[in-house]
């Protein structure tokens, strides 16, 4: 058998225009008695398929393996991503060979070698089906690939509307706009309007936008695409097209664009606008976006109903919500009078800051229970006198 390392080295040194055909010819010569399927489909992710236990995959010694090693911070584990390598696969009693060839720093072509076309195509279809979001699943998109995130799924499983200290009007409106959307397909058709929605959640950080997203996703039971980045190896615009192409294929679904102002820039803005309300249509697609800085977004995004037809502002918690938050974090360790004092002291403070102060106070109180817990928490928020002194110092320094 010809040396696979030599073949790959020679082909990769050729110009990109000739590379695909040269590889195809070489693989056919290398495996004359087996079927060779070749693909660049982004849905074909055999490494993730193997990590999920759907097949056994091992890097072989037939060719020098060029493998990227990455650290998954959420799962705290090492990930091996073959760039150019030969692999052996055991799947449903079949033995297949896989060869991945990365070229131009942009694309990977895969060769699936099996005893027959039926086997190679069945494996290809199984991997692609696995990579496509199914009912209730969440796929994280990073610009190039879609991946499952077990840690995120566990986090979402613990999320509910009960965790949110929101005004009841906002909570019920969000439920109506999201849960009601998927139940209203026939109503949209009767009205002759596209069955799609876009919600933009705005407001200062720490007031529940992310928690609201989690509650929505956890209760809808629809395929979800969570965008971490559009910045793939072939550019942000291509990443945007890849995301919406996949989403349309599995709709009805949810697309989540968290911190939208940081996801897009001048390079890709028009691509996003075209995908949100372009000619292809987004039937059955609910797009949820958040931003701490709506003023940074182009008015073509925020003011055009065909893109985001509703903006929901998340204000700092009102008095009733602040009391509810302190009660949740501090329990019965603080009486009603103490909660009232804390609520008055924290007017305009975010929910995240209230949580942080409560937990910090609990830690200090656990070390010295003689102290008064309410005082420990209250002491983390400057009162009117402290604020005045702070402003005076700033003015003097200026």
DSSP 99-167: EEEEETTTEEEEEEEESSHHHHHHHHHHHHHHHS--TT-EEEE-SS-EEE-HHHHHHHHT--GGG----
Q: How many CA atoms lie within 13 A of 143 on its CB side?
A: 15
Domain-by-domain residue ranges, the chain? 4-131, 148-313, 319-397
According to DSSP, the residues that pair with 127 across neighbouring strands are: none
Looking up tokens 């809808």, which residue turns up? 220
Handedness of CA 366, 370, 372, 375 (dihedral sign): negative
The Cα 264–Cα 277 span in angstroms is 16
The Cα 334–Cα 167 span in angstroms is 23
The Cα 346–Cα 342 span in angstroms is 6
Domain boundaries 148-313, CATH class:
alpha beta
Helix (H) or strand (E) holding 349: none
Q: How many CB atoms lie within 10 A of CB 42?
A: 17
The Cα 41–Cα 37 span in angstroms is 12
Looking up tokens 């959640």, which residue turns up? 201
The reported pLDDT for the residue numbered 75 is 63
For the CA atoms of the chain, what is the radius of gyration?
A: 27
The reported pLDDT for the residue numbered 35 is 96
CB 138 within 8 Å of CB 153: yes
- For residue range 217-267, list pLDDT tens digits in order: 888 888 899 999 888 777 888 889 889 988 888 889 999 999 998 888 888
What pTM did the predictor assign? 0.70
CB 5 within 8 Å of CB 81: no
The Cα 155–Cα 348 span in angstroms is 28
According to DSSP, the residues that pair with 39 across neighbouring strands are: 110
First-to-last C-alpha distance (Å) of the chain: 79
Strands (E), 2-76: 35-39, 56-59, 66-72
The Cα 42–Cα 50 span in angstroms is 16
Handedness of CA 85, 88, 91, 94 (dihedral sign): positive
According to DSSP, the residues that pair with 77 across neighbouring strands are: 72
Token pair listed for 61: 């010694």
For the chain, which ranges sit under pLDDT 70? 1-2, 5, 8-9, 11-17, 72, 74-75, 104-106, 133-136, 278-280, 369-374, 376, 382-398
């Amino acid at each position: 058998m010809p040396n696979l390392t030599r073949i790959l080295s020679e082909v990769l040194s050729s110009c990109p225009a000739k590379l695909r055909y040269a590889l195809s010819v070489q693989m056919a010569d290398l495996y004359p008695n087996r079927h060779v399927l070749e693909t660049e489909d982004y849905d074909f992710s055999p490494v993730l398929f193997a990590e999920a236990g759907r097949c056994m995959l091992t890097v072989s010694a037939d060719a020098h393996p060029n493998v990227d090693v990455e650290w998954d911070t959420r799962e705290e584990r090492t990930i091996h991503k073959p760039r150019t390598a030969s692999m052996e696969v055991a799947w449903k009693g079949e033995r297949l060979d896989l060869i991945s060839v990365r070229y131009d720093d942009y694309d990977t072509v895969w060769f699936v070698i099996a005893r027959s076309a039926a086997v190679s195509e069945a494996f290809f279809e199984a991997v692609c089906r696995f990579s496509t979001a199914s009912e209730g699943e969440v796929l994280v998109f990073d610009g190039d690939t879609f991946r499952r995130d077990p840690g995120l799924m566990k986090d979402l499983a613990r999320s509910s509307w009960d965790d949110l200290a929101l005004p009841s009007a906002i909570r019920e409106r969000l439920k109506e706009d999201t849960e009601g959307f998927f139940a209203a397909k026939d109503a949209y058709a009767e009205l002759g309007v596209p069955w799609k929605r876009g919600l933009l959640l705005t407001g200062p950080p720490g007031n529940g936008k992310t928690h609201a997203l989690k509650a929505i996703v956890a209760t809808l039971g629809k395929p979800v695409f969570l965008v971490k980045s559009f910045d793939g190896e072939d550019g942000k615009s291509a990443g945007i097209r890849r995301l919406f192409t996949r989403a349309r294929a599995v709709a009805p679904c949810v697309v989540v664009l968290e911190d939208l102002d940081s996801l897009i820039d001048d390079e890709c803005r028009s691509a996003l606008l075209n995908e949100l309300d372009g000619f292809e249509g987004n039937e059955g697609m609910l797009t949820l976006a958040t931003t701490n800085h709506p003023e940074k977004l182009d008015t073509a995004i925020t003011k055009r109903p065909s893109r985001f037809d509703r903006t929901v502002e998340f204000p700092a918690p009102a008095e009733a919500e602040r009391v509810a938050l302190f009660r949740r974090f501090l329990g019965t360790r603080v009486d009603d009078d103490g909660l009232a004092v804390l609520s008055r002291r924290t007017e305009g403070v975010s929910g995240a800051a209230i949580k942080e102060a409560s937990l910090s106070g609990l830690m200090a109180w656990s070390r010295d229970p003689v102290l008064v817990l309410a005082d420990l928490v209250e002491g983390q928020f400057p009162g009117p006198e402290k604020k005045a002194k702070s402003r005076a110092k700033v003015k003097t320094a200026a």
